[in-house]
Amino acid sequence: IAPKNFTIHGLWPDKEGTVLQQCKPKPNYVNFKDKMLNDLDKNWIQLKFDEDYGRDKQPLWVYQYLKHGSCCQKMYNQNTYFSLALRLKDRFDLLRTLEMHKIFPGSSYTFQEIFDAVKTATQMDPDLKCT
């Protein structure tokens, strides 16, 4: 089932515009349980994996944490990294923003129309790609 709003792709620390990846030391990922597991499962959906497998093995979150979370581990532990990502997602309701700009799923719009609508919410140039 497709989500009814946007999900998270990742939270990527950067240094002066350069995205940091695979930083050392490699952190130890500990599987989430309870509330955080449910919050991530709802908001950072592992669409490529069966739900039970995703909740048990947590492959997307492991991947994102080792690739990007590793680069901010001096400031944020695993729980704080994911909590921050969830808080940042909650700051923006992009589906509502697009609707306010008369942009609805299932119709066609120019790149610029979507870019401009998202920018009204984020106040920054969004990093958008069309596929």
Q: What domains does the chain contain, in order, with CATH numbers?
A: 1-91 (3.90.730.10), 93-130 (no CATH)
**Amino acid 9: pLDDT:** 85
- Phi first, then psi, for residue 37 (nearest 5°) are -60, -45
Contact, 98 vs 74, CB < 8 A? no
Specify the higher pLDDT residue, 1 or 27: 27
Cite the active site residues. 9, 64, 68
Q: How sure is the predictor about 2, in pLDDT bands with cuts at 50, 70 and 90?
A: low
Three-class SS state of 124: coil
Token pair recorded at residue 19? 């995205």
Does the pTM exceed 0.75? Answer: yes
Residue type at 93 in one-letter notation: D
Q: How sure is the predictor about 1, in pLDDT bands with cuts at 50, 70 and 90?
A: low
CB proximity list for 47: less than 8 A, separation 6 or greater:
7
Instruction: Give the DSSP letter of residue 70.
Output: G
Q: Using alpha carbons only, give the angle 124, 128, 129 rounded to the nearest 5 degrees.
A: 165
H-type helices in 14-77, by residue range?
Answer: 34-43, 51-57, 59-67
**pLDDT (tens digit per residue) in 23-50:** 999 999 999 999 999 999 999 999 899 9
**Amino acid 44: pLDDT:** 93
State how far the alpha carbon of 129 is from the alpha carbons of 33, 35, 90, in Å: 33, 32, 22
**pLDDT (tens digit per residue) in 58-102:** 999 999 999 999 999 999 999 999 999 999 988 888 889 999 999
**Amino acid 8: pLDDT:** 85
Q: How sure is the predictor about 3, in pLDDT bands with cuts at 50, 70 and 90?
A: low
Task: Look at residues 49, 129, 44 and name the one whose alpha carbon lies nearest to residue 87.
Answer: 44
